[in-house]
Amino acid sequence: MTKNAIVLGAGIVGVSTAIHLQRRGRQVTLVDRKDPGRETSFGNAGLIQREGVAPYGFPQQLGLLLRYALNNRIDAHYHLRTLPSQIAFLARYWWNSNPRRHAVITRAYAPLIENSIAEHKDLIEASHAETLIRRDGWMKLFRTRARHDEALTEAALWRGEFGVEYDSLTAADIARMEPDLSGDFTGGIRWRDPWSVLDPHALTSAYRRHFESLGGRFVAGDAASLGQFGSGWKIMTSEGPLEADDAVIALGPWAAVATGRLGYSFPLGVKRGYHMHYAPEGNAVLNNWMLDAERGYLLAPMSRGIRLTTGAEFATLNAPKTPVQLDRAEAVARTIFPLGKRLDPEPWMGARPCTPDMMPIIGKAPRHQGLWFAFGHAHHGLTLGPVTGRVLAELITGEAPFIDIAAYAPQRFNP
């Protein structure tokens, strides 16, 4: 008899998990309150970051922390009145970002990143989504020689330990590659290995169509109705009650609420982010995904226009939008590239789910049969969706996961 599975959350992680379970003979229903890819997976830099072996740590230098405290930067912003409720999370995040501990975390995290391109390639080809993908890396640009040299030292270490490939760029290289770019960039790095996505929502939608072609289905439903039913699970959907042997919670920043109803307590923080699309002025062309590293924003030539993305905003999940970082970033970006009018009616905002040890939560729920977790991917949700989906589906169906996922186990927060 075919076993059934419910996957809660139709972002890139949930859709990828649903595909891999369906491929392994499960009858899978993907459940979300919105269409697939409409929440966190909709707005991101559109990068499959093979170079991202080291998760983003919390600043350690006192001088830099004091500058962040002024709350006037592009790469980070916080809501003062909600800061007390986030102190415990931020303190653990800071502690884990100590260079020694961060190095240990990086080595545990790297296997996910190292397989990100191969696992996306599998789903891209199966979904006939090749036209959404570019395979020419991305650029990280620096305004000072010291920061460029520091980044090159780190890149050389990553190449030696994790096989990440890069090119060092001079100011002349940047001018040749981006003739419409101005500014006082002294040099940069071009990461060779990452792929970029011209429309992240379209990619998730292509994966959803592939999932449905395998016999899976999507229905609207509310995760709040999930509960145990006999030896399995039950949820209310727009088509009535749905029962299954297994349930996967892949709800991104909403996972803490859903798991909390079942008695779990995960220290899941939220980093909110914003984006806006722009038309270029005149005949200006942006050729590459480009991070202005010392200012903290990214420009990406996507299908909808040039997407400008911001850094992290520390706020509660449901707080009103405060896109001050976007306004700050736009003012700087206009000095280096001829951005035209805004193309979106308002700034888009999403929320990244983050753990204090910077690694995702992937594995079996410690205290329930048939319940599985896949969330907490922070800045790398798009990058890690397919590899997460594969290892979790292997675990659920009794296969040996193709990489060691012990470091991501839910038990590290919930014994």
- Give the per-residue pLDDT at 317: 93
SS3 state of residue 32: strand
Q: Dihedral, CA atoms, 196, 174, 294, 104, nearest 10 degrees?
A: 50
Options 3.40.50.12280, 2.40.30.10, 3.40.50.720, 3.50.50.60; CATH of 4-42+201-266+356-412: 3.50.50.60
Spans of all domains in the chain: 4-42+201-266+356-412, 57-98+132-193+268-352
Q: Which CATH superfamily is domain 57-98+132-193+268-352 in?
A: D-Amino Acid Oxidase, subunit A, domain 2 (3.30.9.10)
- Give the per-residue pLDDT at 41: 86
> Would the pLDDT of 240 be above 90?
yes
> Would the pLDDT of 1 be above 80?
no
> What are the φ/ψ torsions at residue 406 (nearest 5 degrees)?
-60, -35
User: Mind listing the pLDDT tens digit for each residue in 260-273?
Assistant: 999 999 999 999 99
Average pLDDT of the chain, as a whole number: 96
User: Mind listing the pLDDT tens digit for each residue in 306-324?
Assistant: 999 999 999 999 999 999 9
For residue 301, what pLDDT band results from cuts at 50, 70 and 90? Answer: very high
Mean pLDDT value of segment 24-38: 93
User: Mind listing the pLDDT tens digit for each residue in 326-337?
Assistant: 999 999 999 999
Mean pLDDT value of segment 120-125: 98
- Give the per-residue pLDDT at 64: 81
Q: How far apart are CA 112 and CA 402, in angstroms?
A: 10
Q: How far apart are CA 159 and CA 166, in angstroms?
A: 8
- Give the per-residue pLDDT at 183: 86
User: Do strands 4-8 and 290-292 pair parallel, antiparallel, or not at all (unpaired)?
Assistant: unpaired
Q: What is the pTM of this model?
A: 0.96
> Would the pLDDT of 65 be above 90?
no
User: Mind listing the pLDDT tens digit for each residue in 333-373?
Assistant: 999 999 999 999 999 999 999 999 999 999 999 999 999 99
Nearest CA-CA partner of 127 in 68, 49, 210: 210
Other beta carbons within 10 Å of 402: 13
Q: What stretches of 120-268 adopt beta strand conformation (E)?
A: 133-134, 138-142, 166-170, 187-191, 195-197, 217-220, 227-229, 232-237, 240-244, 246-249
Rg, the chain, Cα only: 21
- Give the per-residue pLDDT at 180: 98
- Give the per-residue pLDDT at 255: 97
What are the residues whose beta carbons fall under 8 Å from the beta carbon of 89, sequence distance 6 or more? 267, 269, 356
